[in-house]
């Protein structure tokens, strides 16, 4: 399996668990919060990859899926947006950069957060107790490499969508909170 497919698969499974839990109620729309550092239309690779992967898995925006897009450029603003997303009832938050992950984590310890953070070590940042037993409400791809290409970023967004649709890899986080 090539790296792109592996990354897409692993991140998508991670995001899907909360949707699978919410999908048990027939007729209920799946709701995903998407925190980014730019407006939706300014993300020409990552958003179409994310939405396209969800579509392939049966989640179609406007039919059985609502994606609540929010953008900011500071950690403080991401905290505010996370509270806003919690208020509209999202089941999972996908945080697409280090500031979004940090801001979301500071704002909630109960909503599952799937992060794509190419700069942080999840243990050093306090998102996980250890790699063997992470606990908490944050999971995702943490590369600890600031020089990640746009193509790798797009692959990660596709993986996130795939995880959301399949309801896997969040594990305990989908069932328990760590308030």
Query: Mean pLDDT, to the nearest integer, of 77-81?
Result: 94
Could you report the per-residue pLDDT of 38-75, keeping only the tens digit for each? Answer: 877 777 677 888 888 888 888 899 999 999 999 998 88
Q: How confident is the model at residue 112 (pLDDT cuts 50, 70, 90)?
A: very high
Q: What average pLDDT does the structure give for the chain? A: 77
What proportion of the chain, given as a percentage, has pLDDT over 90?
31
Q: Which domains does the chain have, with CATH numbers?
A: 3-168 (3.40.50.2300)
pLDDT higher than 50, residue 107: yes
Residue with tokens 């309801």: 167
Q: What is the pLDDT of residue 174?
A: 40
Average pLDDT over residues 70-97: 92
Measured CA to CA in angstroms, residue 119 lies from 15, 98, 115, 133, 156 at distances of 20, 7, 11, 21, 14
* Contacts (Cβ under 8 Å, ≥6 apart) of 87: none
Is residue 31 within 8 A of residue 88, CB to CB? The reply is yes
pLDDT grade for 32, boundaries at 50, 70 and 90: very high
The owner of tokens 């979301």 is 104
The rounded Cα 164 to chain-centroid distance in angstroms is 8
**Average pLDDT, stretch 116-137?**
87
Give every strand in the sheet of 92-95, ordered side by side: 65-71, 30-36, 92-95, 113-117, 138-142
Q: For position 85, what pLDDT does the model report?
A: 96
> What predicted TM-score, i.e. pTM, was given to this entire model?
0.69
| Arithmetic mean of pLDDT, 89-111 | 92
* Banded model confidence at residue 18, pLDDT cuts 50, 70, 90: low
140 or 81: which carries more pLDDT confidence?
81
According to DSSP, the residues that pair with 61 across neighbouring strands are 65
């Amino acid at each position: 399996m090539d790296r792109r497919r592996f990354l897409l698969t692993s991140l998508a499974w991670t995001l899907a668990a909360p949707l699978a839990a919410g999908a048990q109620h027939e007729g209920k729309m799946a709701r995903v919060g998407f925190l980014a550092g730019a407006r939706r239309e300014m993300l020409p690779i990552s958003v179409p990859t994310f939405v396209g992967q969800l579509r392939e898995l049966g989640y179609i925006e406007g039919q059985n899926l609502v994606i609540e897009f929010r953008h900011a450029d500071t950690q403080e603003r991401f905290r505010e947006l996370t509270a806003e997303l919690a208020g509209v009832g999202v089941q999972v938050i996908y945080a697409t950069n280090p500031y979004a992950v940090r801001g979301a984590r500071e704002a909630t310890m109960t909503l599952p957060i799937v992060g794509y953070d190419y700069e942080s070590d999840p243990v050093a940042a306090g998102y996980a107790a250890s790699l063997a037993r992470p606990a908490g409400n944050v999971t995702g791809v943490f590369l600890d490499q600031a020089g990640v290409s746009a193509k790798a970023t797009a692959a990660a967004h596709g993986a996130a969508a795939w995880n959301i649709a399949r309801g896997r890899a969040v594990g305990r986080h989908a069932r328990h909170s760590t308030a």
